[in-house]
Amino acid sequence: MYDYLRMFKGKLWLHQVSLFGVLGVLVLWSVFNKTFIFDVNLLWWLLGAMIGFLFVFLDRFVYSVLSRPNETLSLRVRELFGQSNFVEGLRLLLAERYDQKELVMRSAMFVVVWVVLAFFTATSVLNLFARGFMLGIGTHLVFDLIYDFVKDKERLDLWFWQIKRTLEPEEKFGFVIVVGVIYLLLAFYL
């Protein structure tokens, strides 16, 4: 049990490192390109990225409480939220993540939708909060996708739950590479 909790804390720590690492690299990139301006717009962009990153965690809430309202996890989470014990409810949702198999945001189809929306955001939206929000969502999705590809092949299979056939390892590898490259290209414009 202790090893499971330690590994879970390690992944949460890696989430934070990935988000702040990406934000740091992008800020440094703008400094080197002499386009960096420290003003309220930068703060809106950073806030949007952090909220977008956290937004992906809502997927677990939607799955547990709204999609599966009669399961034990959903009943327990609702009970904790009803008692205004939000922190414990969120801990329970995150601790039981391996029981949550068909998450909408953690799917290949959602990643494709994100790519399209991120492209339109990068090319058409001036609001820096919205651009940061899309960057945060993408950072979280790509981090989880690459983490599952490297560390947890079973979880990687769950990214393709909406596809009605079993994908070959080469197809999964190709998907991860293509998404990673597209993310890198879009990140510098979001």
Give the total residue count for the chain. Answer: 190
Q: Give the chain's end-to-end CA distance (angstroms, integer).
A: 40
Helix (H, G, I), strand (E, B) or coil at 13: helix
Cα 148–chain centre separation: 12
pLDDT in tens, the chain (190 residues): 445 445 456 777 888 888 898 988 899 998 888 877 888 989 999 999 999 999 988 888 787 777 777 877 777 878 887 788 777 877 777 777 667 777 788 899 999 999 999 999 999 999 999 999 999 999 999 999 999 999 988 889 989 988 888 889 999 999 999 999 999 999 999 8
The two tokens of residue 173 are 């590898």
Cα separation, 56 vs 111, whole angstroms? 12
pTM of structure: 0.84
